[in-house]
Amino acid sequence: MAIKSTIFKADLQVTDTDRDYYDSHKLTIARHPSETDERMMVRLLVFGIHADPALELAGAISTEETPALWRKSLSGEIIDWIDIGQPDEKRIRKACARARHVFIYAYGLARAKPWWQSIKKDLARFDNLTVIFLPDEQIKTLPLMAERTMQLLCTIQDGEIVLIDSNRETAVKPELWLQPVKQ
């Protein structure tokens, strides 16, 4: 018998002064048994960064057909494909062909740095790809915020993301590893 996903509920209040976006999102998160609290909370953090009424948590564990998060147009076109971790070049190539914008959020320097060193030359050719690293020391308290019911405030100003719950605060300044060349 397969182990079922654990359901988490999050009320995420987003205040993004960089994009002039202010809204509240009620999210239901299905955490797959193989997903850690850290990865689930990174998904919530990334949701806050890209918050939009059309943004969806696509699944606990990305499949070949879905990323961690995505935003689609009303006609079903994938506008933003957002992956978390270290996807292989084939998956990235497929995502770049399917979506207007592709974002990869890497974390865990011990795994992310070798992945990045091995793949960065192959990724420079994509004009719709952004790769961002979330520093370990800045996200280490995220798993402590994981509760079945969460009230979170996500504030973004000058590129810094602050995630706050009733007991703690985590500030993250993402590192941009690759961005599209403006044409």
Q: Supply the CATH number for residue 158's domain.
A: 3.10.640.10
pLDDT digits (tens, 9 = 90+) for 84-123: 999 999 999 999 999 999 999 999 999 999 999 999 999 9
| Mean local confidence (pLDDT), 49-73 | 84
| Average pLDDT value for the chain | 92
Alpha carbon of 41 to those of 8, 26, 38, 125, 141: distances in Å?
A: 11, 15, 5, 31, 10
Sheet containing 21-31, strands listed edge to edge, beginning at the edge strand earlier in sequence: 21-31, 6-16, 149-157, 160-164, 169-172
Residue showing tokens 């280490």: 140
Domain ranges, residue 55: 20-178
4 in any annotated domain: no
More confident residue, 20 or 34: 20
89 in any annotated domain: yes
Dihedrals φ, ψ of 74, to 5°?
-65, -25
26 in any annotated domain: yes
pLDDT of residue 17: 97
8 in any annotated domain: no
Contacts within 8 Å (CB) and 24+ apart, 96-99: 96/126, 96/128, 96/129, 99/70, 99/128
151 in any annotated domain: yes
42 in any annotated domain: yes
For the cut 90, the answer to whether the pLDDT of residue 62 exceeds it is: no
2 in any annotated domain: no
pTM of the model: 0.92
174 in any annotated domain: yes
Would you say 46 and 68 are in contact if contact means Cβ atoms under 8 Å apart?
yes
Structure tokens at 3: 């182990």
